[in-house]
Structure 1
Amino acid sequence: MLNLLLKLKKNDVLLIQYPFKKFYALQCRIARLKGAKTVTLIHDLGTFRRHKLTAEQEVKLLSLTDFIIVHNDSMKKWLETQGCLVPMCSLEIFDYLSDSNPSDAMQDNASHNHVVYAGALGERKNTFLYQLDALLGGCVMDLYGRGNLQTDLPWKNIHFKGFKASDDFIADAGGDWGLVWDGDSVDECSGNWGEYLRINNPHKASFYLRAGMPVIVWKQSAMAKFITENNLGIAIDSLKELSQVLTEMPKEKYQEMKSEVMSFKDKLNDGFFFKKAFAVALKTI
């Protein structure tokens, strides 16, 4: 890293992925001393993710850069409210590059009630699953991942599939929907994880879309507007609604959504959203 920083020249642009464990401030300062510009792409905010920073500390760090690519307008507004004056633009959604592809064949099923949930499975983050099984009448869920969540339970509608590599998942996950939900409640995305969903873009949403599945998101999440406006899935207030919403959805409505997702996934694989945001950054600085 030091060699790269020492090679910087005037008017160069250094892209920094944030958080950068130890040397974020150093990179920004050296770039400035050498007359280069920095663009920061936010992946996570420490104020929310691990609570290792206060909002004041986070903004102080981010104020060292020349431009910030944030997840969405909700994150942009939060940073501005906390006093961040650095120019920003919204990524909108994370791209997801993979050599794998889901099948292009549109299944003509009468029902579209097969839900998938994938990711790190933890007692703090995913305990809503303990309550969900009883609410899935008429639906089934495949659960992928690993962690300390108890999965050897007598579930009737949830089927634990273990860990699957991301490229393999994209190629053959086989579900109708991907669920984006965190916390210990089926009524809302609760606790710190839920609060974070109000301002961040979960990579999980991009992962499901890249696998050709429309997504189910919490209506109060930052992703809800983007997903619904682009017809890439649905937004619900509570998981208690899930079974009814899916079983009553007309087949034509689902197939229209599915078709939209199958086109949209190519944008994610091409890096479309990062390229667009980075172009704005270069024009601004």
Structure 2
Amino acid sequence: MICYLSRNYRGVDNAGNKAKTDIEQIMEAHGFRNVGLKQTRYTNVAVAFCFTLFSVLKSFFSLRKGDVLVLQYPLKKYYAFVCNMAHLRGCKVITLIHDLGSFRRKKLTIPQEIARLNHSDCIIVHSESMKDWLLEKGIKAKLQVLEIFDYLSETQSSASDALPQSPCRVLFVGGLSSKNNEFLYKLGNNVPRSYEIVLYGSGFEPERLHQDKVDYKGFVSSDQLIASAKGEYGVVWYGSSLEGGCGVLGEYLQYNAPHKMSLYIRCGLPVIIWEKAGLASFVKKNNIGICVASLSELEEIFSKIDTDQYQEMKKNVLVISERLSQGFYCFKAIQQACADLGVKIG
């Protein structure tokens, strides 16, 4: 039996928790068995801690010999314990990575994280570049590539059949503080330009703009955004610079699969992404956007994309969006990981 371990999630407006609860929903829909307690969303820290602890303990008694347990990583202090417990019960462990603590948050050293992940039998990573990075650092577990995170929502995009507008509108959704995304203010102050910038999120610092040259929409829920987003492109970018790969978050883009890219696609928008990003090859392969070395290239690139080229990208985006809405990529990756372990599902 393929199993998973549910826990408490403190708020699904957080992109990471949205991704995790979506994956639980996908696994449940495919008949995977929850060996923990039922998923909850308590916001009280003490209650959340106790619930997750009891869910972990329950899993020890629920697992049976021959089961395959799918874990979502990080699982904080419980991860190694759950893996060891599963192996003790005669089970295999598949780990789906959401975040690498040693890379972005620096809460673990690289050797510590590799040692922790090596408790798994197979690991689902975001991209080929993340796979290569883990192999270089000494990972021993089998590896499969997710490609992109699914994004569940019953809301339909209002932009799915819209024709491109002139001037072109470029959207960014997420944290808007200059601490992590200084590039937004450099892009906003880069005037004159032929395209508009539309911002959704919190932490906006209007005083950092020399002129009122962006359209700030505030924070909206993901479902509301899918239903109402108006624009031509979504920007998948982080860091301090218009050049790709700057800063810790910018460099991390070389390996990870940002959840915001899935959200843009569900909004029906082609994407703009750094040419060396982990998902750049996915964008190129599926022709769902443009890959650039620097955001300063946008002016020239937009002038060369005609309506037919844009409509082709838009059509391809809608194909991927439908897959994301059905949990296609998560289930495929788990199928492949199970096959690596000699287990057939689906």
| Residue of structure 1 in register with 2:317 after alignment | 261
For the residue of structure 1 that corresponds to 2:187, the secondary structure is helix
Partner deviation per Cα, 1:8-63 (whole Å, 9 max, x = no partner): 11011111100112200110000000001111000000111201111111110000
**Residue type at the aligned position of 1:29:** N
Partner deviation per Cα, 1:147-192 (whole Å, 9 max, x = no partner): 2x41354544311111010000011111110001111111223111
Q: By how many angstroms is 1:113 displaced?
A: 1.2
Q: In the alignment, does 2:285 pair up with 1:225? A: no
Q: In the alignment, does 2:240 pair up with 1:175? A: no
Which among 139, 150, 163 is matched to residue 108 of structure 1?
163
Cα distance between partner residues in 1 of 2:337 and 2:269: 31
Cα distance between partner residues in 1 of 2:159 and 2:196: 22
Q: Answer yes or no: is the 8 Å Cα contact 1:138–1:247 preserved in 2.
A: no
Q: In the alignment, does 2:124 pair up with 1:69? A: yes
**Greater relative contact order, per chain length (Cα 8 Å cut-off, separation 6+):** 1
For the residue of structure 2 that corresponds to 1:195, the secondary structure is helix
Q: By how many angstroms is 1:6 displaced?
A: 1.8
Q: Answer yes or no: is the 8 Å Cα contact 2:171–2:199 preserved in 1.
A: yes
| Residue of structure 1 in register with 2:213 after alignment | 157
Cα distance between partner residues in 2 of 1:200 and 1:35: 32
| Residue of structure 2 in register with 1:279 after alignment | 335
| Residue of structure 2 in register with 1:42 after alignment | 97
CA 104–219 in structure 1, closer or farther in 2 if over 3 Å, else same = closer
**Residue type at the aligned position of 2:198:** D
Q: By how many angstroms is 1:213 displaced?
A: 0.4
Cα distance between partner residues in 2 of 1:24 and 1:68: 13
Aligned CA-pair RMSD = 1.5
Q: Answer yes or no: is the 8 Å Cα contact 2:170–2:195 preserved in 1.
A: yes
Equivalenced residues, count: 284
Q: Answer yes or no: is the 8 Å Cα contact 2:159–2:230 preserved in 1.
A: no
**Residue type at the aligned position of 2:217:** K
CA 242–139 in structure 1, closer or farther in 2 if over 3 Å, else same = same
CA 123–109 in structure 1, closer or farther in 2 if over 3 Å, else same = closer
Please say which of residues 137-146 and 183-192 is displaced more in the overlay.
Answer: 183-192
Please say which of residues 203-212 and 122-131 is displaced more in the overlay.
Answer: 122-131
Q: Answer yes or no: is the 8 Å Cα contact 1:151–1:160 preserved in 2.
A: no
| Residue of structure 2 in register with 1:214 after alignment | 270
| Residue of structure 1 in register with 2:32 after alignment | none
| Residue of structure 1 in register with 2:298 after alignment | 242
Which among 66, 74, 88 is matched to residue 33 of structure 1?
88
Q: Answer yes or no: is the 8 Å Cα contact 1:74–1:222 preserved in 2.
A: yes
| Residue of structure 2 in register with 1:200 after alignment | 256
Long gaps (5+) in structure 2: 1-54, 342-346
Q: Answer yes or no: is the 8 Å Cα contact 2:125–2:131 preserved in 1.
A: yes
Q: By how many angstroms is 1:122 displaced?
A: 2.6
Which among 122, 132, 135 is matched to residue 80 of structure 1?
135
Q: By how many angstroms is 1:112 displaced?
A: 6.4
| Residue of structure 2 in register with 1:122 after alignment | 177
**Residue type at the aligned position of 2:323:** K
Tell me the TM-score normalised to structure 1 length: 0.95
Q: Answer yes or no: is the 8 Å Cα contact 1:111–1:247 preserved in 2.
A: no
Which among 146, 154, 157 is matched to residue 99 of structure 1?
154
Q: Answer yes or no: is the 8 Å Cα contact 2:172–2:235 preserved in 1.
A: yes
For the residue of structure 2 that corresponds to 1:15, the secondary structure is strand
Please say which of residues 105-114 and 47-56 is displaced more in the overlay.
Answer: 105-114
Q: Answer yes or no: is the 8 Å Cα contact 1:231–1:260 preserved in 2.
A: yes
Partner deviation per Cα, 1:104-149 (whole Å, 9 max, x = no partner): 65333463611100012233211111111233611001100012x4
**Residue type at the aligned position of 1:271:** G
Tell me the TM-score normalised to structure 2 length: 0.79
Q: By how many angstroms is 1:5 displaced?
A: 2.4
Which among 233, 241, 261 is matched to residue 185 of structure 1?
241
Please say which of residues 26-35 and 187-196 is displaced more in the overlay.
Answer: 187-196
